[in-house]
Chain A
Amino acid sequence: MEPIKEPKPLVLLSSSPHMHSSNSIEGAMRDVILALVPAIIAAIYYFRVGAVMVMVSCVVSAVFFEFLAEKVMKKPVTIKDGSAAVTGLLLAMCLPPTFTVGLSIVGAMFAIVLGKMIFGGLGCNIFNPAHLGRAICLSSFPQQMTTWVIPATAIAAKGVDATTFATDAVSTATPLSIMKMAMQTPEAFKQLPSIMDMFMGNIGGSIGETCVPALIIGGIYLIYKGHIDWRIPVFYLATVTVITGIYGTIMGYPSLFPLYHLFGGGLMIGAFFMATDWVTSPITNKGRIIYAIGLGLLTSLIRLRGSYAEGVCYSILMMNMCTPMIDRFVRKVSFGGGAKK
């Protein structure tokens, strides 16, 4: 028999279109990490070593658990697309700076394995993995998840010895929990930090959620790059502002009450980075507006009338559940009126 000749270089046969935009999952994930850089810098500035430890342990373990899960499930390993790193980073952003490395690793495992891999990997998850991880941490380790510290900068200002920070952190309450108290005893409003501190993030809170300008810059960058839809953050934030504004006026709270809600807690990072998660938000513009308004309603409801001080995480998880239903009932009208059948 004649030896089989080496075939000539083959031509690629494929269905049209033969051109592709530069959009890719890897690129989008890279941009999300890039958009988080201002918030990371702010986190390190305010919370120093604690922030670094939590972020590094979350990211590394998230990538590791994705690798492990894919090996166990005998699926192609997709850690290179960066989505595990993004999940780990976003999870770290909503954990307190005093969280230990061990618990961070457990949190990342919850986020990746229960939040994503169990459903079949990226694209199949129902809930935002980072927020699911946080919610599981919150119910598993309530003590550690609600211990807040004053930022390192504030310690210096108050004259507390900075060396005590690392070992024995100065604990504090978040502005949202102060407001929760103040709803019963109005004089507690006096304990609130200044609105400027709220805006710049010089307050107690989760690692990445306190510095508002850093998050807004990142969010605008993502909107500019076309990765997220402006409708979700805008309608979400507007709904919360309007509802807390009306509630504050009726109850006679200070006039800055809605602004404290807007800048406090995880609302900013939730609106720009969590609620806009591709997989778990609706695909149509109209659906996204409904979703964002629903988020605003739930967040306000939990914050104003619920027993938790913070409601962003749970409201996003709840609206994630509604996403398939929104997508089912909100259909686009096709060009030529096909949908009017």
Chain B
Amino acid sequence: MSAQECTFVGGAHVPPSKSLTDKVAIERCPAPAMVYIPMSMHIGKPAKAIVKPGDKVTLGQVIGEAGGFVSSAVHASVSGTVVGIQKRYMPMGMISDCVVIKNDGLDTLCADIKPRTEAEITPELIRSELQAKGIVGMGGATFPTHVKYAPPKEGARPIDTIVLNGIECEPYVTCDHRTLLESTDDIIQGLKYFLLASGAKKGIIAIESNKPDAIALMEKKVANEANIEVAVCAEKYPQGSEKHLIYATTGRTVPDRGLPGDVGVVVDNVGTAVAACKAIRDNIPLYERVVTCSGDGVTKPGNYITRIGTLYSDLLACAGGAKGDPGKIVSGGMMMGFAVNSLDYPVIKGTGAVLIFNQDSPFSKHVPEHNCVRCGHCVEACPMGLEPTVIVDYIKKQDWDGAESVFCHACVECGSCAFSCPAHIPLVQYIRMGKQFIGGKGNGGHNPFYKL
């Protein structure tokens, strides 16, 4: 391991708690009898459903067309019959149209899916295929990947570096760790396609130092690649945050309100690289992903290849069922994921983990908020160099201009502040609410529940 570990200023030392699943090889979760595939599981415009009840669909067939440039296609994750299109809540709280497909159990592959030859692959093809095959950021943000590789505007800085994010600083989540170990070649191939599409000269695969097995394997595999290197990053939360990863690996700082493209960098998750590799080389759309099902409320914690649209309850059944009464269900990681009220939500493209904790787990206990004692732990922990307690002060007073004057918008909602706060103030929740009000010009944005 290299002596120099890249890192950033601020952050918190969050216990990784990955031992439940980091040695468990990826298994396949059987396709459920019914899948619920949301049309809006990416940032941007929802896809337009192009199937209707009664239609027969095959595995990998397009069922939703991209609704615009910043949008992505959606594919059937099983073969069978469309039962209907229903509105369902997403784990994030919004409502999306879901295409419900009854599985015929045959997994008949769509007729269009044929592997490509190397000669067919051009930057233009990669860019169009990324959208057509529904590739979005699989680290959780679900930003459509093809947008990042669109040719830069006139005069903009060209992309010169691609960073693959294999950090996975979220506690309990191990899907990227296992992907690094088990799909190493696909990751490197995906990175090569990204380099080809963007014309970038250098690819960096960033791995946190708590995954020595993945680092060793990856360093061995890229030893002969001239333009690809492995960057070992210090174990600190939120090392996997896009802006902080760029700073740690390239020393560049993404400007306020800026995008990674402004400093000539594109960051993609390793899971996205695998999906892109399959989409381009094998022509297979994104219809399944690795999901970590873990927590003390799961009988057989593990990493499961799960079809998009599988309900959490089906995934949990595959993981041996619940152990005790669930007291907390988290969709995504412990630091940035969403707590949900039931197992009745579908796995979407950004779902890296479903974590289930028992009633008696400390995570299932509500800790009341105390007055701020101005200890400054949140200021120290903020990787964005903000003063969370000051922002929250303004938000509590409903002074939206004041909150903006202390850079409320720059918050990446990583949760380092609330993690460190001895008074247990849900700082991120306040800041998120403040952003909604600022964005919605004082009326609570799109969320009808925000009323003060």
Contacts and interface: CB of A to CB of B under 8 A. Distances in A.
- The finding on whether chains A and B are genuine partners in a shared complex, rather than unrelated, reads yes
Interface of A: 8-21, 23-25, 27-28, 81, 120-124, 226-227, 229, 278-285, 288, 327, 331-339, 341
Nearest to B15: A19
Nearest to B426: A15
A276 B418 CA distance: 22
Interface string B383-399: 11111011000000000
A12 B341 CA distance: 7
Contacts of B341: 11, 13
B339 A13 contact: yes
B432 interface: yes
Contacts of A285: 380
B371 A19 contact: no
Contact of B325 (A9, A18, A229): A9
A238 to B, nearest CB: 21
21 contacts: A9-B325, A16-B337, A16-B413, A18-B339, A19-B334, A20-B418, A23-B421, A28-B375, A121-B371, A123-B373, A227-B375, A229-B376, A279-B373, A279-B374, A283-B374, A284-B379, A285-B380, A335-B247, A335-B410, A336-B410, A338-B407
Contacts of A283: 374-376, 379, 387, 389-390
Best-buried of B14, B341, B374 by chain A (most CB within 10 Å): B374
B287 interface: no
A16 B326 CA distance: 18
A288 to B, nearest CB: 8
Interface stretch (B58-66, B223-231, B251-259): B251-259
B363 interface: yes
Contacts of B384: 334-336
Contact of B383 (A18, A81, A282, A335): A335
Interface in B340-373: 340-342, 359, 363-367, 370-373
B194 interface: no
A8 B379 CA distance: 40
Contacts of B424: 20, 24
Chain B interface bracket (under 10, 10 to 19, 20 to 34, 35 or more): 35 or more
Contact of B256 (A13, A18, A122, A337): A337
A294 B370 CA distance: 30
A335 B429 CA distance: 21
A87 B173 CA distance: 43
A334 B253 CA distance: 11
A124 B393 CA distance: 12
Contacts of A282: 376
Nearest to B378: A283
B12 interface: yes
B385 A23 contact: no
B371 A9 contact: no
A14 B364 CA distance: 10
Contacts of A122: 370-371, 373
Contact of B419 (A21, A333, A338, A339): A21
B325 A123 contact: no
Contacts of B406: 331
B12 A18 contact: no
Contacts of B387: 283-284, 331-332
A11 B364 contact: yes
A21 B418 CA distance: 9
Nearest to A228: B375
A283 B334 CA distance: 27
A278 B375 contact: yes
B125 to A, nearest CB: 35
A16 B335 contact: yes
Contacts of B426: 14-15
A339 B253 CA distance: 14
Best-buried of A16, A17, A23, A327 by chain B (most CB within 10 Å): A17
Contacts of A15: 339, 426, 428-429, 432
B92 to A, nearest CB: 11
Contacts of A21: 12, 14, 419-420
B419 A19 contact: yes
Given A11-B342, A24-B422, A334 B407 contact: yes
B146 interface: no
A284 B380 CA distance: 8
A11 B326 contact: yes
A17 B79 CA distance: 37
B112 to A, nearest CB: 39
Nearest to B247: A335
Contact of A17 (B255, B342, B418, B423): B418
